[in-house]
A and B are shown apart, each in its own frame.
Chain A
Amino acid sequence: QEHKRILARKVIIERRKEEYEQMLQEKEKEEESRRIQLEQLRAEEEKKRLQTESVRREEERIRREMEEQEAEETRALMEAAKIRGQKFEDGEKVDKVQLRQQAIQEQIKERQEQARKLGRLSKSMDHFERAKREEQISMLMELHEK
């Protein structure tokens, strides 16, 4: 009887043990899966962070480049303006739009000046030719008399 009871108890203990192990295993598994999930989550977050970071950096780079380009253009416009005789104070804030406007104006002026110059040239060429022809008249009359 006792033996039977002990046997039964043993069985129960065995079972409990098994149950316990099983529980432990399940718990471990659960934890494992939670850990993996967490890691995944973290990795994703990290990825997202990196992505936003790179986007931010890219934007930063573009902005910087644009600024640099802007500065470069402004500098070039300033240089051109300096050549034209415009003076700038050290550290003076200059308006690029205004500078560009000035440059365009200057270009138009140059074109007009060029056109005026060519117009003058055209006139002087015409007048020189006509003057020469006037002076040639006596030569031609002599030729005709011959």
Chain B
Amino acid sequence: EEDFNAEEIQKDEGFSCVVVVDNLPVIGIEKYEKLLGVLKKIFSQIGEVHEDGLYMPVDEQTKKTKGFAFIEFANPDQAKIARQQAEGYKLDKSHTFKCNLLKEVEDMSATPEEYKEPELKDFVRKDNLYSWMLDARGRDQFAVRYQDMTEIHWNDPKTGTSEDVYSRSFWTESYVQWSPQGTMLATVHRQGAQVWGGEEFSRIQRFGHSKVQLIDFSPCEKYLVSYSSQESPNPREGPMAVFNVSDLKSGQTLRSFKGKLSDFMVAGGEHKAPGVEGALQWPLFKWCQGNDDKYFARLARNKSGKTMISVYETPEMGLLEKKSLQMEHIVDFHWSPTQALMCVYQAASPDGNQPARVSLVEIPSRSEIKSKNLFSVKDVTVHWHPDGTYLALQVSRFTKSGKTSYNGFEFFRVGERNTPMEVLELEKKQEKIVSFAWEPKGHRFAIVHGDGARPDVSFYTMQDGQKGQIKHLGTLHGRPVTSLHWSPQGKFLIIAGLKGLNGQLEFFNVNDMDTMAINEHFMCTNVDWDPTGRYVATSVTSVHQMENGYIVWSFLGQQLYKVNRDRFFQFLWRPRMPLDLGKDKENEIQKNLKKYSKRFEAEDETLKSQADVEKMEERKNMETEWADFLESKKKVFEEIREEHEA
């Protein structure tokens, strides 16, 4: 759905629809609306100006306009015409319009001249890319995108709001994406992708890739994969795809994969004719986690149409040991979240001689450390624990008649010697499994199961006493739930009934098996925890027409602030680079926490009283202004009365 929105914006709000008008009078705020009205009148005669498509940047310091404006038209042709017609238009004696298409301006700035290059790099080096992690009050950032705006904010619950960091209109042509460790923000443009960072969100790097659609970072932020597809010039052939793997530091493309899009759409066990496998999986290239971006892999087919996994090695970008892992009927594979180990799921062979199979394969040795055959399988869903300690397989099997199916779970204890396996069957096997979710930093998991509108939520632990077995902890009956959202710290969980269920949110404490709060964010579509598990944001994105915007809550379920934004597209917490202080240091902090607390509480108190003082002052100013206004009106009235009486 998000992609669809991205597409729409790309069409609607492409830079080629925007005309930049220069040489306008520099005016104060009080005349802003008036000049805007004049511009609108002039340009509406030429073409269809986009609703809210007029914008004059204002200088923060002088509170005056900067002497130019952006005007967005319904389509690129109108923009071109407007540019020609309005070029040289005399607004008055001293102001003659100078017009450009924003696209041209962007192109100009996107091709920096030779001599500028070293200066730019120097600037980037000076700018501390980690500055956002040094916030004195330990706050986190988030990005939001709505209409044509992209904004970066500090989440500032201590003042009951958020603080602006940076904002820019038309920053991206489709969507934005943080790098996995939060160092930079990527924007997507017709000419390619760009990444931005540092205190001022200056450009760090550009990646030329015409008509790029999707991008993906490697986990350690060394590489960027970009993808585009395009109709083939030969109408009988399907679309062509290009995947570039680029070096983030230099911006150089290190390897390109090109070919028919259908050749990259590999999924499913049976041999299918090219192009009938459905959608492209993204990311197509899956990065091995926690290994310094050493390997990335994709599902492919060999010349005879059999599935295989191609593993590539960085920085050379070649096929690992020059050959792929040949395994038949692969449906999908998943890297462990923490090590060079992949879980491969192969479907049963069509002739029925070979059952479905799930195996754990180590890279680069390619040795299989564990595997299991599964019979009468309909489908398998793979759930890695975020710590890579457990692997859960949600297996749906056909009954003997083959007409119905039932569900069960298979567990691999990857973190333990010899990878022991365990089976879990639900009491009612026929029940639908709505959702499965591992507790991060823990050993519990939750399952939503049931067929009606109000299914049950069951909790289990992988660590039952000394036995180290799965144990049922409890079940919540009849919840209006569509998805579960664990805090990144574990322990707390939001049981959410999104979209059709009106956005009911149950804030649940799993340690005490206690409901802390039940709230509603009407029509809520997304639930996103901040990286620390202290706060959580819920949002209604433009998949719904109304109620667009977001709410930030404490993990206890207290609403901290709500922001309404029409045409709201994205809410993205800025990820935080994991920095390990070491167990000793953490224990020391825990031991001295009282000392820290005292200081932090004092800081928060000061902040609060300061905010109060500022607010009071602001109000006082408004009251004085008003009193002056009324006084001036009295005079006007007196004048009129005198005139009337005379």
Contacts and interface: CB of A to CB of B under 8 A. Distances in A.
Interface of A: 114, 118-119, 122-137, 139-140, 143-144
B138 A143 contact: no
B399 interface: no
A128 to B, nearest CB: 6
Interface string B575-609: 00001010001100110110011001100000000
Contacts of B596: 127-128, 130-131, 134
B138 A134 contact: yes
A126 B133 CA distance: 15
B131 to A, nearest CB: 8
Given A128-B589, A130-B596, A132-B586, A122 B134 contact: no
Contact of A139 (B554, B579, B590): B579
A66 to B, nearest CB: 30
Contacts of A129: 138, 532, 534
Given A128-B589, A134-B596, A136-B133, 20 more contacts: A118-B556, A119-B556, A122-B554, A123-B601, A124-B597, A125-B489, A125-B533, A130-B138, A130-B596, A130-B600, A132-B589, A134-B138, A135-B581, A136-B579, A137-B134, A139-B581, A140-B130, A140-B579, A144-B128, A144-B129
B597 A123 contact: yes
Interface of B: 128-130, 133-135, 137-138, 489, 509, 514, 516, 532-534, 554-556, 579, 581, 585-586, 589-590, 592-593, 596-597, 600-601
A127 B600 contact: yes
A118 B533 CA distance: 14
A144 B399 CA distance: 59
20 contacts: A114-B514, A118-B509, A118-B516, A125-B489, A125-B533, A127-B596, A127-B597, A128-B589, A130-B137, A130-B596, A131-B596, A132-B586, A132-B589, A136-B133, A139-B581, A140-B130, A140-B134, A140-B579, A144-B129, A144-B130
A125 B489 CA distance: 10
Nearest to A139: B579
**Dominant SS at the A interface?**
helix
The 4 closest A-B pairs by CB, nearest first: A130-B138, A131-B596, A133-B138, A140-B130
B581 A136 contact: yes
A96 B415 CA distance: 56
A125 B556 contact: no
A140 B581 CA distance: 11
Nearest to B125: A144
A134 B596 CA distance: 10
A129 B487 CA distance: 14
Nearest to A114: B514
B575 to A, nearest CB: 15
Given A124-B597, A130-B137, A143 B130 contact: yes
B593 A127 contact: yes
B589 A133 contact: no
B282 to A, nearest CB: 30
Interface-centre pick from A119, A122, A126, A139 (highest chain B CB count, 10 A): A126
B133 A140 contact: yes
A128 B597 CA distance: 8
Nearest to B592: A131
B134 to A, nearest CB: 6
A135 B600 contact: no
Given A122-B555, A122-B556, A125-B534, A131 B593 contact: yes
Contacts of B130: 140, 143-144
Contacts of A130: 137-138, 596, 600
Contacts of A127: 593, 596-597, 600
A143 to B, nearest CB: 6
Contacts of A137: 134
A135 B134 CA distance: 10
A116 B213 CA distance: 49
A138 to B, nearest CB: 10
Nearest to B579: A136
Given A118-B556, A143-B130, A124 B581 contact: no
A107 B592 CA distance: 34
B80 to A, nearest CB: 46
Contacts of A123: 597, 601
A119 B589 CA distance: 20
Nearest to B600: A127
Contacts of A122: 534, 554-556
Contacts of A118: 509, 516, 556
Interface-centre pick from A114, A122, A129, A131 (highest chain B CB count, 10 A): A131
Contact of A128 (B556, B579, B590): B590
Nearest to A135: B581
Contacts of A114: 514
A124 to B, nearest CB: 6
Contacts of B533: 125
A111 B9 CA distance: 49
A126 B600 contact: yes
Nearest to B581: A135
Nearest to B532: A129
Given A140-B133, A144-B129, A126 B534 contact: yes
A122 B596 CA distance: 14
B559 to A, nearest CB: 14
Contact of B593 (A128, A135, A139): A128
Contacts of A135: 581, 585, 589
Nearest to B127: A144
Contacts of B532: 125, 129
Contact of A132 (B137, B489, B581, B597): B581
Contacts of B489: 125
Nearest to B135: A133
A118 B516 CA distance: 9
Nearest to A119: B556
A3 to B, nearest CB: 110
B409 to A, nearest CB: 31
Nearest to B558: A122
A136 to B, nearest CB: 5
A114 B513 CA distance: 12
Nearest to A129: B532
Nearest to B554: A122
